[in-house]
A and B are shown apart, each in its own frame.
Chain A
Amino acid sequence: MEGVLNQLPIGLSIGAVLLLIALGLTFTFGQMGVINMAHGEFIMAGAYTAYLLQGVGFLIALPAAFVVAGVMGLILERTLIRRFYGRPLDTLLLTWGVSLMLQQLARDLFGAPNVQVASPAWLRGGIGILPYNRLFIMALAAASVLAIWAYMNRTGQGRRMRAVMQNRRLAATSGIDTGRVDQRTFFIGSGLAGVAGVALTLIGPVGPTLGTYYIVDAFLVVVAGGLGQLRGAVLAAAGLGLLNSYAEFWSDASLAKVVVFVAIIGFLQIRPQGLFFVRSRALT
C-alpha cells in the first residue's frame, strides 16, 4: 500500500514536468500549426542554464532559463519556422534538424557525459511520502498554469492570442498583428520548456539528449488533451504522468510505455480530437 502511495508524487511530478513542456507545444501547434521537435532542446538549454547558475541561486535560474529558452525559441521562429507556417509536417523535419545541431552544440560546450546539478538545501527532505523537490515541481507547474491562464484570459495580448488560435484569418482582418502574436506565443512556450528543464535538474542528471526523453510523451499530452487547450493539457499531463508511473510500478518499466501507447490509442477511439476541442464547422 505504501508503495502505491509513493508512486503518487512521482507520477504527479512527472505529469507536472510534462505539462510545462506540453504547454508550449500545444500552443505553437494549436496556434501556428508548428510541430517543434527542437522544443526538447529548449528543455535541455534550461537545464544547462541551471547547471551554469549553480551557486548563484536556484530561484534565479528559473527566470534565467525562461529567458534563455525563450530567446532561443524566438530566434528559431524568426529565422526558420516563420517560412513554414501551414506546413506542419515539414516543420517537424526542419526542427528535428535544428534539434540535432543543438544537441551536438551542447555536447561540444558541456561534454557528452551527464552532469549533476546540486539541489538547493531547502529542497532536500520532505513531509512523509512527499519529497520537497517533487512538491516544488508540482507547485511550479501550478503557478505556471495559473500565470498562463491569467495571461490568456485577463490581458489584451492573451485575448489576441486566443483570437489568432481560433481563427487566424479573421483575427488578421480585425487588425491583429498575427506575426507579433506568433512571436510572443513562441517565446512564452519555449520559455516554459526552459523552466521545465530547471525542474528536471531536481530529479535527475542533465545531458545533451535530455529533451529527447520527454518530447514524445509531451506530444502525447497534446494529442490527448486537445490542441491549444489549457484544461486539456493539465488533465492529460496529470493522467499521463500517473499512468506512466503506475504502469511502471505494476507491470515492468519496459512495458509501461507500451501500456501508455495502448491507452492513448484506446482513448482516441472515444475522443479522437482529444479531451477538449474547439467546435467548428470547418472540415477536418
Chain B
Amino acid sequence: MTAPVEGADTRAPIESADAAVPDKGAGATAPGRPVRRWQGAAAFTAVAVLALVVAPLLLEPFRLGLLAKYLCYAIVALGIGLAWGQGGMLTLGQGVFFGLGGYAMGMYLKLNDAGGDLPDFMVWSGVEELPALWKPFGNPVFALTMVVVLPVAVALLLGTLVFRQRVRGAYFAILTQALAAALVILLVGQQGLTGGTNGLTNFFDFFGRDVAADETQRGLYLLVAVVLGVLYLGARQLVRSRFGRLLLAVRDGEDRVRFLGYNPATVKTLTFAVSAGMAGIAGALFVPVVGIISPALLGVVPSLELVVAVAVGGRFALAGAVLGAVVMGYARTYFSEELPDAWLYLQGALFVLVMTLAPKGIAGLAAGLVRRREARA
C-alpha cells in the first residue's frame, strides 16, 4: 500500500504516475488502423523468416546457440512485459519461475542420463537413495507438465495471497525479490537434492539425441524460436482481448476497476500466473540449449537484469520486451568479452540513461520517430 505517499508536489498521485505514462495505445496495445495492422503482420513475418530461415543458415553453431539462449531470455521478458508493462506489476522474481521450469527439465534429463542409477552429483554429495522429490521426474510427461504447472501454481498462490490483500506496487516488487533471494539460498543449501551452487549440468541425452550435437542444437534453436513466436502471438491476443483491456484498466486505475464491479486481484493474479508459466517454459528450454541450470542463473541479479532488458526494449510494447532481451543479451556477451571490467559500469550507466532519458525504451523512441514522420507527411 502506498497510502501515505502523495505524489511529489504538483505531480499525479503515485499509482497512476508509477511508470512513465504510456502513449495512448502504445505498441502492442494499439487497436491500430487497418494499415498499421497490415504493417504489424508484415514485420512479424519478416522477423520470423529472419529467425527461422536466415539465422540458421548464416550463423555458425556457436553463435546460433547464443541466439537460442537470448531467445529463451526473450520468452521470460515477454512475460515481464505482460505483467509489468501491461499489468503494472513489477515482478523482480521471474528467475524463480525460470528456475522451477529449468530444474524440472534438468531433473528429468539427469535421471534419464543416469538410467536408473543415481545422478552423478548425488553420488558426489554422498546421497545413497534417490530422494522422493526426484522420483516422479523420471517420467518425461510428468516433468514437462511440471515445467508449466509448478511456476503457475507458485504464482497463483503468491498472487492470490498478495493481491487479495491489495498489496501492490513497490511492495509486490520487494516481495518477489525476496522470494528470488530465498530460493537461491535454498537451492545452494540443499546440495544433495539440487546440486548446490553447481546446479544441474552435464547432460548427454535429450529425448534420444545427443544434446551437444550441432544438429540437436539447431533443432533446439528452431524450437525456441517457434515457441517464442507462438507465445508472442498468444500474449498479443491476450492483450487485445477484453481481458487485456481490463488488465490495462487495472494498471491505470485499479480502484476504478474495482468500483465497476470487477475484481482486480483476479485479473492481476491470472496475468502474473501467465507470465510465470512463460518463464517456466523458458527455463525448460534454456537447460538443453545452454546445458546447465544453477542458482546463479535465477537469483536477484539475473531477474533484475531481465526487467532492465525489458525497460531498455520498451516495457509498454510486447515486441519491445523481446527486442530488449535479445539486445541486452548480445551487449552483455560482447562487452564482457571485449571489456570485462567496464561492463558493469556500462550496464549501470545504460540503466541510468534509459530510465532518465527514454523511460519507454527503444520501442518508445521508435514510436516517437514514426509519429514525427507521420506528422510531417
Within 8 A of B (CB), among A95-109: 96-101, 103-104, 108
Known contacts A86-B8, A96-B304, A260-B182; A277 and B3 CB within 8 A of each other: yes
Known contacts A89-B90, A169-B6, A283-B255; A33 and B14 CB within 8 A of each other: yes
Interface locus among A1-9, A42-50, A127-135, A265-273: A265-273
8 Å CB contact of B344 from A101, A273, A284? A101
Interface locus among B46-54, B168-176, B316-324: B168-176
Asked whether any CB of chain B lies closer than 8 Å to the CB of A212, the reply is yes
Known contacts A80-B356, A88-B169; A284 and B1 CB within 8 A of each other: yes
8 Å CB contact of A97 from B166, B178, B189, B351? B351
What residues on B are CB-neighbors of A144 within 8 Å?
none
Within 8 A of A (CB), among B97-113: none
- Shortest B3–chain A CB gap in Å is 6
8 Å CB contact of A92 from B2, B7, B170, B359? B170
A89 and B186 contact, CB distance less than 8 A:
no
Cα-based distance from A86 to B11 in the complex (angstroms): 7
Asked whether any CB of chain B lies closer than 8 Å to the CB of A253, the reply is yes
Cα-based distance from A258 to B188 in the complex (angstroms): 13
A178 and B9 contact, CB distance less than 8 A:
yes
- Shortest B307–chain A CB gap in Å is 7
Mostly helix, strand, loop or mixed at chain A's interface?
helix
Cα-based distance from A253 to B71 in the complex (angstroms): 35
Determine which residue in B3, B20, B341, B349 has the highest number of CB atoms from chain A within 10 A of its CB, and name it.
Answer: B3
B11 and A83 contact, CB distance less than 8 A:
no
What residues on A are CB-neighbors of B171 within 8 Å?
223
B308 and A108 contact, CB distance less than 8 A:
no
Cα-based distance from A128 to B140 in the complex (angstroms): 57
Determine which residue in A90, A104, A166, A284 has the highest number of CB atoms from chain B within 10 A of its CB, and name it.
Answer: A284
Known contacts A223-B174, A284-B255; A97 and B8 CB within 8 A of each other: no
8 Å CB contact of A257 from B2, B185, B304, B341? B185
What residues on A are CB-neighbors of B17 within 8 Å?
86-87
Asked whether any CB of chain B lies closer than 8 Å to the CB of A172, the reply is yes
A94 and B351 contact, CB distance less than 8 A:
yes
B167 and A268 contact, CB distance less than 8 A:
yes
Cα-based distance from A30 to B5 in the complex (angstroms): 6
Asked whether any CB of chain A lies closer than 8 Å to the CB of B62, the reply is no
Within 8 A of A (CB), among B153-173: 158, 161-162, 165-171, 173
Cα-based distance from A182 to B103 in the complex (angstroms): 45
Cα-based distance from A94 to B177 in the complex (angstroms): 16
Asked whether any CB of chain A lies closer than 8 Å to the CB of B331, the reply is no
Within 8 A of A (CB), among B352-377: 352, 355-356, 359
Within 8 A of B (CB), among A17-55: 29-33, 35
- Shortest A187–chain B CB gap in Å is 18
B186 and A258 contact, CB distance less than 8 A:
yes
Asked whether any CB of chain A lies closer than 8 Å to the CB of B311, the reply is yes
Interface size classification for chain A: 35 or more
B175 and A94 contact, CB distance less than 8 A:
no
Determine which residue in A35, A93, A278, A280 has the highest number of CB atoms from chain B within 10 A of its CB, and name it.
Answer: A93
A97 and B350 contact, CB distance less than 8 A:
yes
What residues on A are CB-neighbors of B166 within 8 Å?
272, 284
Asked whether any CB of chain A lies closer than 8 Å to the CB of B198, the reply is no
8 Å CB contact of B169 from A89, A222, A272? A89
What residues on B are CB-neighbors of A265 within 8 Å?
158, 161-162, 175
One digit per residue, 1 when the CB lies within 8 angstroms of any chain A CB and 0 when it does not, for chain B 285-301 equals: 00000000000000010
Cα-based distance from A182 to B5 in the complex (angstroms): 13
Could you jot down 28 A-B contacts, CB within 8 Å?
A29-B170, A80-B356, A85-B11, A86-B7, A92-B90, A93-B307, A93-B351, A94-B352, A94-B356, A96-B351, A168-B5, A178-B9, A216-B300, A227-B4, A254-B189, A257-B181, A258-B183, A261-B178, A261-B179, A268-B162, A272-B166, A277-B1, A277-B3, A278-B3, A282-B3, A283-B255, A284-B13, A284-B15
Interchain residue pairs A-B with the least CB separation, the first 8: A254-B189, A97-B351, A85-B8, A101-B348, A272-B165, A100-B348, A257-B182, A104-B344
A residues neighboring B (CB under 8 Å):
29-33, 35, 80, 83-90, 92-94, 96-101, 103-104, 108, 165-169, 172, 178, 212, 216-217, 219-220, 222-223, 227-228, 252-258, 260-261, 264-265, 268-269, 272-273, 277-278, 280, 282-284
A-B contact sample (14 more), CB < 8 A, given A97-B351, A227-B5: A29-B170, A33-B7, A88-B14, A89-B18, A89-B170, A89-B173, A93-B307, A100-B351, A101-B344, A104-B345, A168-B8, A169-B10, A216-B178, A273-B3
B residues neighboring A (CB under 8 Å):
1-15, 17-20, 90, 158, 161-162, 165-171, 173-175, 177-179, 181-183, 185-190, 254-255, 300, 304, 307-308, 311, 341, 344-345, 347-352, 355-356, 359
